[in-house]
Amino acid sequence: CLSLLVGSVCSACSTSSNKSAATSNSGTSTYASVTHSQYFLVSDSSGKKPSKGDSVSLNFAPQGKAWLLATSSTGDLSYGGSWSVNGSNMSLSFSASEFNHKVTFAFQPGQSTVKMPFQVFSTSQGSSTWSLNNIDPVQGAFAFAESYAAQSTNGASMSSIDDATAQYLAALTGASVKVSPSLSIVSQDKMAPGFSTASDVRVFEAPTFHPVSSNPDLITAIEEVAGGLILQLEGGDTVDVELFGSTMSGSAPRQIKLGPFISDPRTAIPPNRPGNGIDDPPNKTAVLFEPFENEQFMSWSATGTSLIPAPESFGNAKLVADEEKRLIDDKYSVKDLSDAKGTVPKLTDDLISGAPGLLIVDTHGMSNGDVASGERLGTKLSTSVTALDILRKKWTQRYGFPANAFEVAAVPSVVPGTLTGVVSLTPNYWKFLKSSKGVDFSKSMVFMNACLTDQTLALVDAIGAKAYFAWYEETATDVSNAVEDYIVRQLVKPTFTSEEVYYNLLRIDLTGLAAYPEDSLFQNVMPSQLQYNKHGQTGAIAGVLDAWGKSSSGQEIPYIGHGWLSPNISHQQVWFLLFAARWGSNTTNGITNLDSCMAQYWSSGTSLGGLASPFCQNANDGSAPTKQELGYATYLLDGDNSGFGGTMVPRFTLNDG
């Protein structure tokens, strides 16, 4: 019932009907006018209306399909039905047991207010008043995606929502549809059991309406990619429709249990700064680009393989404030580009002045590597395209950017059928900064905290950071916020590298055990089930968050399969060796002690140290470390790479010097 979603008002859970029902549409122009319309409920004749912040809307799709969509802070609910127009009358039919209405009423396309012969929040006879909202196809796509997913209390899979929305747009515009071969949501589904493939869901048949006049904003082609759609316009522009800005857990959150080391005070005491800054960035500046930090948007509640739309705040201002304080305490200068400050010129100017030692980009992303800026363009497709054209010329004149450095991104808003058009930064934006403006991230760390962006290597290649973290899959907002804060909390500890941070993130996810105080950031944050995982794991980070390091020779080295996570060394053993080396706070002495253990006991394989050396006995995982394992632990602690024979992951520290 709608009472579950729209305030405390009771819903109409009974049937009303009207004997006369029109059965045909009255021409293409009327048809197009209706499908480009949306009506919001103003009130029932009883005086009941949606609570503040909630909404009830009627949305019209091709082939006479209609949806009633109710939204609230607790989630969305929708009912599918049908519509037709015959002369000056419209017929609506909904047959769900909770919302069963068959009515015909006077209707003229384009009229600003329409009275319909039923009440939404009452079982009594009466009427309801609705207000017109003219929408373009992209606005309609957002409303359709929400309506489609909210029909079932179980929601729908990401691929089916994506595909159904593409078919909606195709039927509306006549554009062709394809599934990206390189970013195929179909192949992604096959990796994660439980999904339905894109071909399973065909909501609409062949296109029924196609404008014939030339229009630079006309959609000519639609490409389905993970996380949304990429539209090609007749005028040559590309538009990213980011249907899935982010997700949040709709299932019971996972409990992070106390591990055996959390009570050891040595896990809470960081080592002394070693005075060894060989892998520190030269520019002790952090840029935090968070253009949607305090903005609410339409998110998706994830349970198992299904998504249900529900509004959510994008960022976490408290965690960002914590990050800034810790970085400042670590002698970093922090540039806060949050909300209104997250514009293209502000980011560009800060980067051109010198690549920061740490760059965090926390925003909406797409699987083609595009990321949304805070540069607002408009609330409709046409105005957004026009505004971007003006800005492109301005930025080309000011900086020299090529036109393909920017695209339009349509990001979801809370109100159904509305969008926020923003400037999207393509991989070419970063490529231009590196090649033409000398912005060199080869000694920096970049956390691209934007969903799906690592499904193409274009972005990691264009940026070329020494340490680079990015999401391969969609991620829950609470998880991404916690990961961001965790990265900062660990990196400000002397001798902690980006590689160790990544390992600890995997450790928390895969074991569910806390070893460091900051591990508690993930308490009640990670969902117990997650559907977007290329490895079919039930984790929120493993298989979802990627990490890369760019070597001095220019090679991009994935953390998985190399260095600490090489198959020929014990990952757990390396963690114990690092832990033991820091027991006395002086890691230089700690390395000397570990070398002594190897020479006197471990190399023989007959003793861990025993009573003769309690330190050596305990400075391991219960088995004798190999020289390779000690060699890599030493490299992580001080940068000495002479003791490891495999491929090293480029070492990054924040401020060890």
Instruction: Please tell me which residue, 336 or 28, carries the higher pLDDT value.
Output: 336
In which region does residue 3 sit, left (phi positive, over 0), alpha (psi from -120 to 50) or beta (all else)? alpha
What pLDDT is recorded for position 194?
Answer: 26
- Please write the tens of the pLDDT for every residue from 526-552: 876 554 444 444 568 888 899 999 999
DSSP per-residue letters across 555-584: -EEESTTSGGG-TTS-HHHHHHHHHHHTTT
Strands 228-233 and 238-241: antiparallel
- Please write the tens of the pLDDT for every residue from 615-630: 999 999 999 999 999 9
pLDDT at 573 over 70: yes
Percent of the chain exceeding pLDDT 90 equals 53
> Within 258-335, where are the H helices?
317-329
Euclidean distance between CA atoms 269 and 584, whole angstroms = 10
> Confidence class of residue 103 from pLDDT cuts 50, 70 and 90?
very high
What pLDDT is recorded for position 1?
Answer: 36
CA dist 233 → 144, 174, 229, 381, 590 (Å): 20, 12, 13, 10, 61
> Confidence class of residue 5 from pLDDT cuts 50, 70 and 90?
very low
Average pLDDT, the chain: 83
Query: Residue 171: what residue type?
Result: A
Q: Please, are residues 531 and 160 in contact by the beta-carbon 8 Å criterion?
A: no
- Please write the tens of the pLDDT for every residue from 472-483: 988 878 889 999
Query: Residue 247: what residue type?
Result: T
| CA of residue 86 relative to chain centroid, distance | 44
> Confidence class of residue 316 from pLDDT cuts 50, 70 and 90?
confident
Other C-beta atoms closer than 10 Å to the C-beta of 8 total 6
Query: Residue 560: what residue type?
Result: I
What pLDDT is recorded for position 235?
Answer: 83
pLDDT at 457 over 80: yes
- Please write the tens of the pLDDT for every residue from 260-306: 888 888 888 889 999 999 999 999 999 999 998 877 665 555 555 55
- Please write the tens of the pLDDT for every residue from 585-616: 899 999 999 999 999 999 987 789 999 999 99
Which of 560, 550, 466, 456 has the alpha carbon at shortest distance from 505?
560
- Please write the tens of the pLDDT for every residue from 370-427: 999 999 999 888 899 999 999 999 999 999 999 999 999 988 776 666 678 999 999 9
Classify residue 642 by burial, with Cβ atoms within 10 Å: 0-12, 13-18, 19+: exposed
Query: Residue 530: what residue type?
Result: L
> Which residue segments constitute the domains of the chain, with CATH numbers given?
1-134 (2.40.128), 247-272+283-560 (no CATH), 571-638 (no CATH)
pLDDT at 102 over 90: yes
Sign of CA dihedral 425, 431, 435, 439: positive
> Confidence class of residue 10 from pLDDT cuts 50, 70 and 90?
very low
What pLDDT is recorded for position 260?
Answer: 85
> Within 438-496, where are the H helices?
458-463, 477-491
